[in-house]
Amino acid sequence: MQRDLDRLLRDARDALAEPPADVEERAVERALAARRVRPAWRAALVAALLVLSLTLSLGAVAATVLPDRAPSSAAQQGPLVRVVDRTVSCMPGRAYDGTGAREFGLAITKRTRYSSTSAWSPASIVLDGGSPSSTLTKFLIVRGHESQYALNSPGHDGPGHGGVYLNVKSCVPSRKPVPLAARGIPGPAVRYDTGTGCTVRGRILVRVRATLTQPARWRAIPPVFEGVQRNVTAMAVAIREERTGRAVLFAEARATSSALWRGGMCR
């Protein structure tokens, strides 16, 4: 029985045809070529993925970092303007009387010579929405030219150069109309350097208009302002309650004169 099985196995092996030599050689060559080509494809794929990853990373950096910097192009900074005319909505600080009212202050001056030096103090209008000891509460600063006093104490009085500066951390742009006039405010106007404090309910609308000596672009002025840094020849500010539309005050100033109209909410 065993001898019969061994004989059948030998016959089966002898019956199987061996592949021709050239067929076997071609198969070996194809296998070797595949081994040579595969690493090249892998290297090309890895290189392409690295280039794509680097491109995406640089794009993300540009998108997240560059907008936080001061704008570098005319389009980002805005067009050149000779007249600034902007309206914003601001929330003054709470009054201390516990009634829920809001308070703000405004100071206005014409160009004046300092008593102790030969320097000149510029015509200016400064709107303060809270404690006067912090730049962060200055809603609006308009200066006719640079102020040596402000330059020496920037943390208190904000930018010291001539220009228009709006606090974009405390105020937001508004499209609501605000007449740039004293209409609705009883006179007469106070025509000397002065300041006033006003009590309102809720937010206020502030419109500022200023004529510059030279065209300038609106831009970011860290840490909290946007504006233009140019000397100003004429300036005006109108303030109304946002909810009721009531006129609160109107102020205008230039080098040789200043005038302030204030309503019954101001003292």
Secondary structure class of 10 (helix, strand, coil): helix
Query: What is the pLDDT, as a whole number, of residue 16?
Result: 47
Parse the chain into domains and list their residue ranges: 2-65, 79-262
pTM above threshold 0.85: no
Give residue-wise pLDDT tens across range 64-82: 333 333 333 333 567 999 9
Return the closest-CA partner of residue 240 out of 174, 158, 142, 165: 174
Beta strands in 116-266 (DSSP E): 120-121, 124-128, 138-143, 163-167, 171-173, 194-200, 204-217, 219-221, 225-228, 232-241, 247-254, 257-262
In the predicted model, is pLDDT for residue 28 greater than 60? Answer: no
For 53-57, 70-74, 212-216, 234-238, which range has the lowest pLDDT when averaged over its residues?
A: 70-74
Could you tell me the two tokens for 120? 């000149």
